[in-house]
């Protein structure tokens, strides 16, 4: 059970790292901005690795915004109470 908590912390920290990437400062500088890539509807498995990374970052930033607020709050409260 001890290792599960560590993996949970690592996962939340990695998702936080992806969620806070700035399109203006970081993503546009390395040409990974979702605005610079407009995939065709129904693009299949032949999509490039760059396109998949763009979609993963955009999806993580969109879908995980609200759950991350609650998960981060729960982890902070847990750490405050149980140290």
What is the reported pTM? 0.67
Torsion of CA 69, 26, 38, 16, to 10 degrees: -20
Average pLDDT, the chain: 78
Q: What is the predicted pLDDT for the residue at 74? A: 93
Host domain of residue 63: 2-82
The total number of structural domains that make up the chain:
1
In degrees and rounded to multiples of 5, residue 42 shows phi and psi of: 80, 25
Residue 69 CA, distance from chain mean position? 13
Q: What is the predicted pLDDT for the residue at 41? A: 54
Q: What is the predicted pLDDT for the residue at 80? A: 94
pLDDT, tens digit (0-9, with 9 covering 90-100), for 2-42: 688 889 899 999 999 888 877 677 666 666 655 555 555 55
Give the least confident one: 8-17, 47-56, 66-75: 47-56
């Amino acid at each position: 059970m001890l290792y599960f908590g560590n993996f949970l912390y690592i996962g939340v920290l990695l998702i936080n790292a992806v969620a806070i990437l700035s399109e203006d400062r970081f993503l546009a500088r390395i040409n990974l901005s979702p605005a610079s890539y407009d995939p065709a509807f129904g693009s299949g498995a032949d999509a490039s690795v760059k396109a998949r990374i763009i979609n993963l970052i955009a999806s993580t930033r969109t879908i995980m915004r609200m759950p991350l607020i609650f998960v981060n709050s729960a982890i902070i409260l847990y750490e405050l109470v149980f140290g």
